A and B are shown apart, each in its own frame.
Chain A
């Protein structure tokens, strides 16, 4: 491909002469990128959520009620000696109730009226950073459950499983959506270029007669394809950002304190999406031109 002012002018002229065809291509690429971008946005936020959840991960160990405090302390120290454990905190039943009251100020009245404290003494087990993995947690929980002094170990087993499934599904969806739309848009660009080529068949024939080589003939089409891919991609991402902005500024009034803050796609990912959509434009041209120039 040669990019110079004359080739650029020829491509812009063609876009001017075939506005409708080019508009359709641009919009198709833009919408594809919008859809793929939405999936990427979900997947990256789900991943983010998993990471932040992982950093706060802890295992709660409930202790028998009728054991001595030295027994409790021994249990605590034994658990702390496991290699995956960073630290173990002792939380008495009273302290647990106090925490609960603070977390739920509106329900304070209910807690005030309790005659006896329903919460047992417990240990909060914090894991080492690199050990925050479901397999590791399950193993650890099984080991701790065997202790005489322990009644129950809690770590949100079902919740973790479901969450991990959702995340891996949304990753898979983003990837497969990306692949499907990549192929679909390549096909559409290839078709646009093919139509443009056939509408200018005679013109191309004349150019060849006056000494133009294939490269000269192809260049404006490549420029168009790359322009389509790039501007369509940028347009789609801009649209995604606008929608994201509207959506997130509405939602944050209601949920910001509960749900983790959702973030837009990272700059690096944005660039890769833009690169892919530009590649789509180029590839669509490549396929059509190869076929066309072979046939003429």
Chain B
């Protein structure tokens, strides 16, 4: 689609977000192009997670307009929300793995939900679990995994559907430097193939290791947007 390719994939116009009466984001306007690598950084409570939640509509903006792939999110009905969600692969800050399902099932569910064939699912899931280094844990349930292993399962689930946009909220927060590097290399690999990659992180090391655009938030306001 030429229109959506020439346009930024994410457009934010004067976004405000309040929880109850507490402002979490104020007057944020950002454009993100297809294939960009973006870091969203800032101190705890700055509004990084909130900003990401607005993108995949886990929250809705109090004011302002937000377009993804040329579609205004205010026009998306609840019944069509899954189509938006399928554009994203999301690594949640708290992982959000399903405790009653094995690691394998947790990752496979993305493909099952989009109606992929069982054979394809089996081979793709095995491959991605090997890539993130937890193939031997595939039949375990998330509560019996270490934090780092859970995080890697979350990464595997986020990338398996080959999404247009990968959103990563502190993707290396629970990982040792070596595992962090493996995960970052994997995410960058997707980014180099054209996937938009949006990473929220405190870690200045992580930002320094990659060349990307840095958006800095402070108390809900955009204080810096550097390429």
A contact residues vs B (CB 8 Å cutoff): 5-6, 13, 17, 203, 206-214, 216
Q: Are B98 and A211 in contact (CB under 8 A)?
A: no
Query: For A206, what are the chain B residues with a Cβ–Cβ distance below 8 Å?
Result: 96-98
Ranked nearest first, the 9 interchain pairs of A and B with the lowest CB-CB distance are: A212-B113, A211-B86, A213-B82, A211-B85, A6-B112, A216-B113, A206-B96, A203-B98, A210-B110
| Known A13-B100, A213-B82; further 5 A-B contacts with Cβ < 8 A | A207-B113, A209-B58, A211-B86, A211-B88, A211-B110
A-B contact count (CB 8 A): 47
In the complex, which range does the number of interface residues on chain B fall in?
20 to 34
User: B103-116 interface mask toward A, CB cutoff 8 Å, 1 = contact, 0 = none?
Assistant: 00000111011100
Chain A interface mostly helix, strand, loop or mixed? Answer: helix
Give Cα A207–Cα B56 distance, bound, in whole angstroms: 13
Q: Count chain B CB atoms within 10 A of each CB in A6, A203, A211 and give the residue with the most.
A: A211
Please tell me if the beta carbons of B100 and A210 are within 8 angstroms of each other in the complex: no
Is B118's CB within 8 Å of the partner chain A?
yes
Whether A211 contacts B161 by the Cβ 8 Å rule is yes
- Minimum CB–CB distance from A6 to chain B (whole Å) comes to 5
A residues in contact with B56, CB < 8 Å: 209
Q: Which of A17, A203, A207, A211 contacts B114 (CB 8 A)?
A: A211
B123 CB to nearest A CB, Å: 15
Chain A residue nearest in CB terms to B157: A210
Q: Please determine whether B98 and A208 come into contact, CB atoms closer than 8 angstroms.
A: no
Residues of B within 8 A of A207 (CB): 98, 109, 113
Residues of B with C-beta under 8 A to A210: 85, 90, 109-110, 113, 157
Q: Is B81 part of the contact surface with A, judged by Cβ < 8 Å? A: yes
Check B21 for interface membership: any CB of A closer than 8 A: no
Residues of chain B within 8 A (CB-CB) of A208 are: 81-82, 85
* A6 CB contacts on chain B under 8 angstroms: 108, 112, 118
Bound complex: CA A17 to CA B109 (Å): 19
CA distance A17 to B101 in the complex (A): 11
CA distance A209 to B58 in the complex (A): 8
**Bound-complex Cα distance A208 to B82 (A):** 7
* B79 in the interface (beta carbon within 8 A): yes
Q: Could you list some 24 contacts between A and B, CB below 8 A?
A: A13-B100, A17-B100, A203-B98, A203-B100, A206-B98, A207-B109, A208-B82, A209-B56, A209-B85, A210-B85, A210-B90, A210-B109, A210-B113, A211-B82, A211-B85, A211-B86, A211-B88, A211-B110, A211-B161, A212-B113, A213-B82, A213-B113, A214-B82, A216-B113
Q: In the complex, what residues of A have CB within 8 A of residue B96's CB?
A: 206, 209
